[in-house]
Amino acid sequence: MKPKVLVTREVFDEVLEYLSQYFDVTSNQSDIPMNPETLATKLSDKLGAIITLSDRIDEAFLARCPDLKAVCNIAVGYNNIDLEACTKAKVMATNTPGVLDDTTGDFTWALILATARRLTEAETYLRKGQWDGWKLKQFLGMDVHHATLGIFGLGRIGQVVARRAIGFEMKVIYHDVRRAAPEIEQACRASFVNKDELLGQADIVTIHVPYSSATHHLVGKEELKRMKPTSILINASRGGIVDDTALIEALRKGTIAGAGLDVFENEPKLNPGFLELKNVALAPHIASSSKATRLKMAMLAAQNLVAALTGEKPPNLLNPF
């Protein structure tokens, strides 16, 4: 008999075919979100699960799934998983680093350009039939070329974003908890600055750090005040790193000029304040969503699960085993 596993959300057929070689697979192909009770019930007789960032795995949850040996996130971020609780319950946890860096970096640029050049605002105007002809001062935006890009977090994705900035002939500054190695700084043509310098100097501030208690509201009211009134803020990392209420207030008052956002506090609920603003470009957490990359992410999660349940060390194991 093959071990039973659960895939909590819809995945590609290739992924199911691969998993089925090893496991008796139940998959939520109708993609109906499951509340924690339903999920725990479905997992009560399973050895492993492919999960996504909306599945919260904590101590109380694990207590209801005594047979569980592995949870494999289809995401590089894993703030939905309590690693300590997993280790205590002898459950392996994995993520999907590396395969989404370029795609997420590309999308960060989509947000930068859309926000700086007011693309979503202009498209809305056009769709509403309001365009009555070319005007010299219509939708005046901000130039991205030769501007200063400030990157919070020069990890894998931050580096991709920095390297793309070379084409726009930008000055790149960054801040991180640790300064990057000289060869990384050189490849990215990025200079290390402190947090206040980054906020005060950048025309575009973009965030590429993981969510944790240390990065919760990394950008809030005070930080927004330190940014230039002409600057824009980009977030394609995690909701909660920016204080959304403070950001809405700053965008309303003109403390900063605009924001491009792919992630939000309390996703998928959106603070309604964002919808009243013209100076935001909004996306529903799709920065890694190219077909090729989402397939790679799901496949990597599946490979992690196969390794975990066949006595191998999963390639992306997050907790000690």
State in angstroms the smallest separation of the CB of 93 from ligand DGY: 14
Catalytic, out of 118, 175, 208, 238: 238
> What share of residues in the chain are helix, strand, coil (percent, to 5)?
35, 15, 45
285 close to 262: Cβ distance less than 8 angstroms: yes
Among 70, 100, 242, 247, binds ligand DGY (CB under 6 A): 100
Phi, psi of 164 (to 5 degrees): -65, -25
Q: How far is the CB of 74 from ligand DGY (least distance, A)?
A: 7
Find the shortest distance in angstroms from Cβ 128 to ligand DGY.
31
76 or 248: CB nearest ligand DGY: 76
Smallest Cα–Cα separation from 16: which of 1, 4, 29?
29
236-295 residues near ligand DGY, rule: CB under 6 A: 285, 288
Q: Which is nearer to ligand DGY, 120 or 237 (CB)?
A: 237
Burial annotation 211-223 (CB, 10 A radius, 16+ → b, else e): beeebebbbbeeb
- The count of residues interacting with ligand DGY (CB under 6 A) is 7
**Residue 19 CB-half CA count within 13 A:** 27
> Is residue 175 among the annotated active site residues?
no
CB of 284 to ligand DGY, least distance (A): 10
Q: Which of 250, 280, 243 shows the shortest CA–CA distance to 265?
A: 243
Which residue lies nearer to ligand DGY by CB, 233 or 298?
A: 298
Element (H or E) spanning 25, and its range? strand 24-27
Nearer of residues 66 and 284 to ligand DGY, judged by Cβ: 284
| Helix orientation angle between 101-116 and 291-309, rounded to the nearest 10 degrees | 150
Preceding omega of 210 cis (within 30 degrees of 0)? no
Segment contacting ligand DGY by CB under 6 A, of 6-14, 39-47, 73-81, 309-317 = 73-81
Q: What is the closest distance, in whole angstroms, from the C-beta atom of residue 50 to ligand DGY in the complex?
A: 14
Q: Is 119 left (phi over 0), alpha (psi -120 to 50) or beta?
A: alpha
Q: How far is the CB of 94 from ligand DGY (least distance, A)?
A: 12
- Dihedral, CA atoms, 118, 120, 124, 127, nearest 10 degrees? 110
Q: Of these, 9, 49, 77, 233, which contacts ligand DGY (CB under 6 A)?
A: 77
Considering only residues 42 through 61, tell me which ones interact with ligand DGY, judged by CB under 6 A: 53
Helix (H) or strand (E) holding 303, with range, is helix 291-309
Measuring CA to CA, how many Å separate 92 from each of 11, 19, 50, 301, 308? 21, 17, 12, 12, 7
Query: Smallest distance, Å, CB 214 to ligand DGY?
Result: 17
Residue 3 vs 98, nearer CB to ligand DGY: 98
What does the alpha-carbon distance between residue 26 and residue 175 come to, in Å, rounded to a whole number? 44
Is 146 a catalytic site residue? no
Helix axes 291-309, 13-20, angle to 10 degrees: 10
Which residues 191-220 are close enough to bind ligand DGY by CB under 6 A?
none
If one asks whether residue 76 binds ligand DGY (CB under 6 A), the answer comes out as yes
| 3-class DSSP state of 71 | strand
Instruction: Tell which positions 126-165 bind ligand DGY, by CB under 6 A.
Output: none
Catalytically annotated residue among 9, 118, 208, 285:
285
In this complex, which beta carbon is closest to ligand DGY, that of residue 77 or of residue 155?
A: 77
Let me know if 164 is a catalytic residue: no
- Using CB under 6 A, pick the residue from 11, 75, 111, 198 that binds ligand DGY: 75
Q: Which is nearer to ligand DGY, 208 or 285 (CB)?
A: 285
Residues that bind ligand DGY (CB under 6 A): 53, 75-77, 100, 285, 288
Kindly list the catalytic residues. 238, 267, 285
